[in-house]
Amino acid sequence: MATTQTAISKRRKFVADGVFYAELNEFFQRELAEEGYSGVEVRVTPTVTDIIIRATHTQEVLGEQGRRIRELTSLIQKRFKFPENSVSLYAAKVQNRGLSAVAQCESLRYKLLNGLAVRRACYGVLRFIMESGAKGCEVVVSGKLRAARAKSMKFTDGFMIHSGQPAKDFIDHATRHVLLRQGVLGIKVKIMRGSDPEGKAGPSQTLPDSVTIIEPKEEQPVVQPMSQDYGAKAIAAQQAAEQARQAEGCRAHEVTKRHLGKVMMPLRTLTHFLCTFGADWATFETGGYGVCTAMYSTKQPKHQKMALTN
């Protein structure tokens, strides 16, 4: 990693940081393989560069009274030409090594180096991964296992996805090589982690096709049996409707009587007028709804005329 203060392009800086991380990771893989090395994280600040080493046995990484961590710090400082006191190394313990593909791959590698049978070693790693809470795992061992002809053995368990962005987010994989007497064996370990809202045991997001089933609500138990008479309800509703219709009819009758009174007043006035101004007779007949007929004559009989004159 370049430490000079000269301005470089973003592309060159991106490439330089990638080369620095790759070389650092390769160095720790070879140096800390027996300590359960699982990865490295680099945090760059304006004054100091922090390098965090993740391993399953952090005490062995630190060494007696921190001697080994100081040796590693000195080596990295001289190799990458860091100024004095500008780089610091820390050791962080892996919380759940059963979900770390690098840790399980190294474990399987040392089991095979110690002469354990391939099938037994792979099934032991597979069972430990699933017991640690993984959704699925896959172990592949390739090479000359027993016979002279090379072959591959695959051991799978659980649920595993192979494509898309979720495969990059949820799957942790690692590859290692084992040098045995009959040849080189290749080991691949893939672990599919479940979603974790806190982001510790897996990514915080969920799978795109995951379905959440909501549990039904508990129904309240019936303490005492109840019966409902729907016939009585229907009769009560019918009676209420009948009462409403009767009330509506009464209101309509009152309105009709008021209108009829308004019509009869002019008819009485007309009768008085005809009788006053010499009408012979006037007869008015009224019907049920104010239908009126009037018959009158303006000519008086002779005998009535003479009676009036006398």
* Mean pLDDT value of segment 205-225: 83
Domains of the chain, by residue range, sit at 10-94, 99-192
Q: Residue 281: its pLDDT value, please?
A: 42
pLDDT tens sequence across 226-243: 666 666 677 788 788 888
CATH topology of domain 99-192: Ribosomal protein S3 C-terminal domain (3.30.1140)
Fold: same for 10-94 and 99-192: no
Residue 194, exposed/middle/buried by CB under 10 A (0-12, 13-18, 19+)? middle
Q: Residue 272: its pLDDT value, please?
A: 56
- The residues near 293 (Cβ < 8 Å, ≥ 6 apart) are 284, 285
Of the ranges 160-174, 265-279, 280-294, the best mean pLDDT one: 160-174
Please give the Cα distance from 188 to 15 (Å, whole number): 27
This model's pTM is above 0.75: no
Strand-pair partners of 88 = 50
pLDDT band at 252 (very low <50, low <70, confident <90, very high): low
Q: Residue 275: its pLDDT value, please?
A: 54
pLDDT band at 292 (very low <50, low <70, confident <90, very high): very low
CATH topology of domain 10-94: GMP Synthetase; Chain A, domain 3 (3.30.300)
User: Are 95 and 133 in contact, with CB atoms under 8 Å apart?
Assistant: no
Q: Residue 296: its pLDDT value, please?
A: 41
Residue 2 confidence (pLDDT) above 50: no
Of all residues in the chain, the percent with pLDDT exceeding 70 is 76
Mean pLDDT, rounded, of the chain? 79
Q: Residue 229: its pLDDT value, please?
A: 61
* Mean pLDDT value of segment 4-12: 77
Lowest mean pLDDT, pick from 8-22, 56-70, 270-284: 270-284
pLDDT tens sequence across 262-285: 555 555 555 555 555 444 444 444
pLDDT band at 189 (very low <50, low <70, confident <90, very high): very high
* Mean pLDDT value of segment 124-142: 93
Q: Residue 254: its pLDDT value, please?
A: 67
Q: Residue 309: its pLDDT value, please?
A: 43
Q: Residue 234: its pLDDT value, please?
A: 73
Tokens of 56: 């399953």
Residue 304 confidence (pLDDT) above 60: no
Please give the Cα distance from 25 to 288 (Å, whole number): 112
- The string of DSSP codes covering the chain is ---------HHHHHHHHHHHHHHHHHHHHHHSTTTTEEEEEEEE-SS-EEEEEEES-HHHHH-GGGHHHHHHHHHHHHHTTPPTT-EEEEEEE-S-GGG-HHHHHHHHHHHHHTT--HHHHHHHHHHHHHHTT-SEEEEEEEE-SSSSS-EEEEEEEE----SSHHHHHHEEEEEEEEE-SS-EEEEEEEEEPPP-TTSSSS-SS--TT--PPPPPPPPPP-SS-----HHHHHHHHHHHHHHHHHHHHHHHHHHHHHHHHHHHHHHHHHHHHHHHTT-S-EEEEE-TTS-EEEEE-SPPPHHHHHHHH-
Of all residues in the chain, the percent with pLDDT exceeding 90 is 26
Q: Residue 136: its pLDDT value, please?
A: 93
* Mean pLDDT value of segment 247-264: 64
Is the model more confident about 268 or about 79?
Answer: 79
